[in-house]
Structure 1
Amino acid sequence: MTDVIFIDLDGTLVDHRGAVFAAIDRIGREAPGATAAPEELAAAWWALEARHMREYLGGGCSFAEHHRRRAAAFLPLLGAPAPADPARLDAWIAECYLPAFEEAWRCYPDVRPGLEALNRLPRPPRLAVLTNGDPAQQRAKLARFGLLEHFEAVLTPTELGSAKPAAYAAACRALRTVPARAANVGDMLSSDVAAAAAAGLTGVWLDRGIDFVTGGPSPAPDASPGPGGGGAVLRIEELTALAELTAPGGPLSRPPL
């Protein structure tokens, strides 16, 4: 049976994409020299986030430096020159971007009921957040919505020494379990489901109806990759359904093969 369930954060518990786009929309509308419409600015920032986040996760820069690189590339789109002084880039992030971003954080409405349903099971699984985000920022999100108490650990590349998908084995060791007795729940089919299955965990796709990267519709269920690609996956549309998978007789309650 599954004794540990890892749960992704951004796009799974908290609407990260929505917060980013809302923050940049607000910043763009308040910038008199902006060179593009707010929706175009948001798309540009999203692309920069993906690029520089990969650099951070690959060890190419610190979390603060990845923010600086994003700001330096983005500020000219607002009609402002990018300062050479890193402290001024840090100031823009701290004083302009982060307040708008943090104000736009939203927890999905099914999250708290879903976690509470898991806790009511006869044998509740141990829960941990497994995220590629910055540890301080991710804990702040969970604290904002009163979710920290539900999790035994919040695991990030800082604690584990690697990011998903390489982090699955390290996460299992950190929670003193083995992949065959662990599941990973997330909104991204590639890194949260297929990669978890390839590492020996059970992947559970929380299909929120939107592709986290593109913003378009999520893939059709019959096109989703299972372990090794092409097979069926465990798919839910709300976190409240996770308790049904974990309850006695559910697929996550069965002994590993």
Structure 2
Amino acid sequence: MTARPMPGVKGVLFDLDGTLFDHRGAADAAIIAWVTAHSPGHPRLDEVPALWAGLEAVYLAMWQAGECSAQEQRRRRLRALCQELAVPAPGDLDAAYADFGERYRQGWIAYPDAAGAVAELGGFALGVLTNGVLPMQEAKVRTIGLADLVGPVLTGEVLGGHFKPSPASYTGAAAALGLAPEQVLLVGDDVINDVTGPAATGMRSVWLDRLGVEPPPAGFPRITSLTELPRLLR
């Protein structure tokens, strides 16, 4: 669906990973480097990024559901990857994950279209709505140079334990901006969390389709770059 102007929008919420921040690029490079260091010449190295991304989705969901702590889901995720690759799991999983984490942080960058697009939205209440761990997500926003532009970083940890796509995450995030859900636009790359999920609360949404690999959600506007967003809102 072609994106059309959206009158009445007073606030914009951005997803972070995959929208403002190139999470996949940083995570893929980091886990390849980690496996290479711990199991040189592993024959399944090309599969590692996809395996890690799949495990990330599974174990982050466990943490968000309250089944384990953030640190424990990291341990479980790393242990599961080692099991899948048939390599010994490190004795100190926390230290091993910290090693991965340091490699991950070295790749933190904003998408090239992020800063300029956000800077053009003067006059709108802005915020970030993300399902990641709060301290890490705040650190990402600072590192990629957007901390003075995008407003508060809102996660389930500050929204009463409600993560996307829980309706309470969207209503809580809108309230944090001092707005009603129908006055807010959510921009993100995840069809469920960022596009169809907000609709249940009256919040509007735009799908950021950077990769063009998923079928578009019916009835929702789509953009391919954040550079299209200011024009949509003016």
Structure 1 counterpart SS, 2:128: strand
In percent, how many aligned pairs have the same letter? 37
Q: Partners of 2:146 and 2:139 in 1: how far apart? A: 10
Aligned Cα root-mean-square deviation (Å): 1.7
Q: Partners of 1:142 and 1:78 in 2: how far apart? A: 36
Structure 2 counterpart SS, 1:127: strand
Structure 2 counterpart SS, 1:138: helix
- Cα distance, 1:196 vs structure 2: 1.2
Q: Partners of 2:41 and 2:53 in 1: how far apart? A: 16
- Cα distance, 1:78 vs structure 2: 6.6
Give the partner amino acid of 1:239: L
Change (3 A) 1:33 1:209: closer
Change (3 A) 1:240 1:89: same
Equivalent pairs, count: 223
After the TM superposition, which residues 88-127 of structure 1 pair with which residues of structure 2 at under 5 Å, given as runs? 88-94=92-98, 96-119=99-122, 124-127=123-126
After the TM superposition, which residues 76-91 of structure 1 pair with which residues of structure 2 at under 5 Å, given as runs? 76=83, 77=85, 79-83=87-91, 88-91=92-95
Give the partner amino acid of 1:246: L
Change (3 A) 1:55 1:34: farther
Is the CA contact (8 Å cut-off) linking 1:33 and 1:80 kept in structure 2?
no
Structure 2 counterpart SS, 1:148: coil
Q: Partners of 2:89 and 2:36 in 1: how far apart? A: 18
Query: Greater relative contact order: 1 or 2 (C-alpha under 8 angstroms, separation 6 or more)?
Result: 2
Change (3 A) 1:91 1:82: closer
Give the partner amino acid of 1:67: R
Give the partner amino acid of 2:100: Y
Is there any run of 5+ residues in structure 2 with no aligned partner, and where? 1-7
Change (3 A) 1:109 1:33: closer
Is the CA contact (8 Å cut-off) linking 1:2 and 1:180 kept in structure 2?
yes
Q: Could you tell me which of 209, 218, 222 is aligned with 2:214?
A: 218
Give the partner amino acid of 2:116: P
Q: Partners of 1:42 and 1:171 in 2: how far apart? A: 31
After the TM superposition, which residues 16-95 of structure 1 pair with which residues of structure 2 at under 5 Å, given as runs? 16-32=23-39, 35-76=42-83, 77=85, 79-83=87-91, 88-94=92-98
Q: Partners of 1:70 and 1:26 in 2: how far apart? A: 16
Change (3 A) 1:113 1:78: farther
Q: Partners of 2:221 and 2:107 in 1: how far apart? A: 30
Is the CA contact (8 Å cut-off) linking 2:118 and 2:150 kept in structure 1?
no
> Which residue pairs with 1:183 in the alignment?
185
Larger Rg over CA atoms: 1
Give the partner amino acid of 1:202: R
Is the CA contact (8 Å cut-off) linking 1:73 and 1:82 kept in structure 2?
no
Is the CA contact (8 Å cut-off) linking 1:28 and 1:78 kept in structure 2?
no
- Cα distance, 1:194 vs structure 2: 1.0
Is the CA contact (8 Å cut-off) linking 1:34 and 1:79 kept in structure 2?
no
> Which residue pairs with 1:165 in the alignment?
165
Q: Partners of 1:28 and 1:132 in 2: how far apart? A: 26
Q: What's the TM-score once normalised by structure 1's chain length?
A: 0.81
Change (3 A) 1:49 1:80: same
> Which residue pairs with 2:197 in the alignment?
195
- Cα distance, 1:28 vs structure 2: 2.3
Cα distance per residue 1:174-208 (max 9 Å; x no partner): 22211111110001122201111222111111110
Q: What's the TM-score once normalised by structure 2's chain length?
A: 0.89
Matched, 1:234 2:221: yes
Q: Partners of 2:183 and 2:130 in 1: how far apart? A: 19
